Structure formats: C-alpha cells, structure tokens
Amino acid sequence: MMGFMLIVGLLLIAVFVLIGVVIAKWLGGSAMPFSASKRENSLEILRKRYATGEISRDEFETMKQDLEK
C-alpha cells in the first residue's frame, strides 16, 4: 500500500510540473505548446516576396540560385 501511495504521489508531482511547463510556454508567446515551429525558410520568404511584387523575376532567379548553393 505504501509503494502505491508513493507512485501516485510522484505521478501527481509530474503532472503538476508538466502543467506548469505548458502554461509557461503558452504565456511566453508560443501559440501552441509543444507544436512544430512555423518558421519560414529563406526560399519560402523569397517566393512570397516575388508573389507580392517586391522583387522582379530576375532578382528572384538570382537570389534563388544563391540560396540553392
């Protein structure tokens, strides 16, 4: 019986720690704790800039070649 109480107590502590970590990540600015990062890679940014007309086709092709090296 004593061993069972010890295991339950440790599990409760682990749950509280996990809840604290999730709340801390959520308050820290993460949209969803433990989710995959949504960082854009440089090629995606380049494609968006070309699509919005910020850069010309020649600039796009030159920068794309530089990134693929």
Question: Where are the domains positioned within the chain?
Answer: 1-36, 39-69
Show pLDDT as tens, one digit a residue, over the chain (69 residues): 888 899 999 999 999 999 998 888 878 765 555 544 445 588 888 899 999 999 999 999 999 888 887
CB count within 10 Å of CB 49 equals: 14
Q: Which residues of 16-35 are buried (b: 16+ CB within 10 A; e: fewer)?
A: eeeeeeeeeeeeeeeeeeee
Half-sphere exposure of 21 (CA within 13 A, CB side): 8
Cβ proximity of 60 and 50 under 8 Å: yes
- pTM recorded for the entire structure: 0.43
